[in-house]
Amino acid sequence: MRSSLLPAAAIFAISAAYSQAPIVHSKAGIFHGRHLPTFDQDVFLGIKYAPKPERFTPAKLKEDAPYTHFNASQYGVDCTGYGSDTNTLVSQGLTILGEDCLHLNIIRPREKATNEALPILLWIYGGGWQQGATSDPSRYNLSYIVDQSVQNNKPVIGISINYRMAAFGFLYGEEVKATGNQNLGLRDQRTALKWVNKHISAFGGDPTKVTIWGESAGAYSVGDHINAYDGKAEGLFRAAILESGGAVGPPLNGTDWYQHMYDNLTESVGCGGANDTLQCMREVPYETIAPYGSVGLEWFHVIDGSFVPRYGQESLVQSKFAKIPIILGTNTDEGFGVNGVNTDKQAIEQLTYSKRWNVNTEEAEKLLELYPNDPTVGAPYGWGNRTWPQNGLQYKRYTSIATDITMFAPRRLLAERMSDYVDKVYSYRWDAPKFNNTPATIGVNHFSEIPFVFGNTEPTLTLLGDSAENIALSHLVGRMWASFAYDLDPNGHGVEGIVDWPQYGESTSNFVFRKDQSYVEKDDDREEGVAYINSIVR
């Protein structure tokens, strides 16, 4: 059973079943949540921030219903996604996919939320804008990080939001451009932020103290919110945390790239011959269009002149972004290279072929000059002369370039530009692998930090297990994130023996997270190559 409107009789049934079940009265409605005694937390799940959206049309903020009762004790439907993560959740019966999916979840510490208005830590999941779900129990359970905030006496409320993905959220082509319906997934997120701003005070939250937080495509979404409308945050957030993503990239391609994908989709669902193909696709049954909503990992954000006003690099250089405190960082070996690159010619072809990197042949040649085919300086880093020829003779070189284009260089550019206006900018490098290195998982790759940040210690669901050093690092980073949301200072974590994390503008440094001993380093790795990447308009 999923979150739904409650008939009157069911209200009393819930009261009987959950003697401690929390009830919140708000302009949005009367929400019957669930109490988690292990954490002494109240959770309100599957709250609709928007009614079921018309397909390929912007969502609308849900109207107030102050006298209507809602069951908020279970997760709602998740938005349609494509990929192994989504397939696993569906096959295990952990989620249901559909279009009526614009929900959010609220996790609050019971005692603290009744005594003071708490800051908000609002999570936007990643997944390449192709997959992801707030109901994912193994990775995005906010109870543990909220619990760490309470133990550190800096309590916060955790919120997670769903948004439309793949073609449902990022469809593009001339027909979409003509109607102004681009970037619907990002607009969904903005609508959720407006719901939080309007209603979170009823749940014990402070709408003026919202920190938006994401990883990968979730972090790029955060970057888009920072750049949106030339930096107008609209009072919806005061700070941000960006894990492995930023305000530049992924690629912002035009209709020349997307039109064939749009045309293929219309043909696949029987709308190729329609006078209005977009309207035709709105009207076909969900079951008809759902199997075709993904074309690889290619439905990304696009320049629309407003939410994504221009290339991210231009917004940063022109100072047209929200000036707010931020934490941002990348993992040591993010990756995103491809296997099978053996020659310079193949490297240039890969860099220019898919338009994912937004570099031309001249720029690709310059990158090869700045990133020599020397395994001692390639990624994964710290492995000396070791190579993996089965992955390509230029595997380490190409992976280093891909890591910097995708994650590392945009992180440095945003840190530098934000520090020109804001003191509280904190940069990090994550250098703790999520599990023992094997040939299939070389280095500290993408997503390595997530098990630590969320801190789920349930052994059947997480890679943290019962390792004391894993749990200690998890407590540190979780408290840092929550402390930053609480008072904009990650150093108020209460863990002894940890070096202070300096502001980026004062030191140009990264805090390096490690299992043995975290430390601070100068942020000057691959200085010339990163500077060149950051000079490219993309």
Grouping H, G, I as helix, E, B as strand and the rest as coil, residue 396 is: helix
425-430 vs 326-331, strand pairing mode: parallel
Q: Is 523 exposed, middle or buried (0-12, 13-18, 19+ CB in 10 A)?
A: buried
The full length of the chain comes to: 538
Catalytic hit among 32, 199, 301, 446: 446
- How far is 79 from 132, CA to CA, in rounded Å? 8
Catalytic hit among 215, 243, 334, 449: 334
The answer to whether residue 221 is catalytic is: no
How would you label 30-59 residue by residue, b for 16+ Cβ within 10 Å and e otherwise?
bbbbbbeeebebbbbbbbbbbeebebbebb
Q: Taking every pair of C-alpha atoms in the chain, what is the biggest distance, in angstroms?
A: 72
* DSSP letter, residue 389: G
Contacts 24+ apart (CB under 8 A), 370-375: 370/528, 370/529, 370/532, 371/397, 371/400, 371/401, 371/404, 371/526, 371/529, 372/397, 373/344, 373/397
One DSSP character per residue, 69-106 reads EEE-SS--PEEP--SHHHHHHHHTTS--EES---EEEE
The answer to whether residue 334 is catalytic is: yes
The answer to whether residue 301 is catalytic is: no
How would you label 389-424 residue by residue, b for 16+ Cβ within 10 Å and e otherwise?
eebbbbbbbbbbbbbbbbbbbbbbbbbbbbbeebeb
Catalytic hit among 216, 294, 315, 427: 216
Query: Which residues are marked as active site?
Result: 216, 334, 446
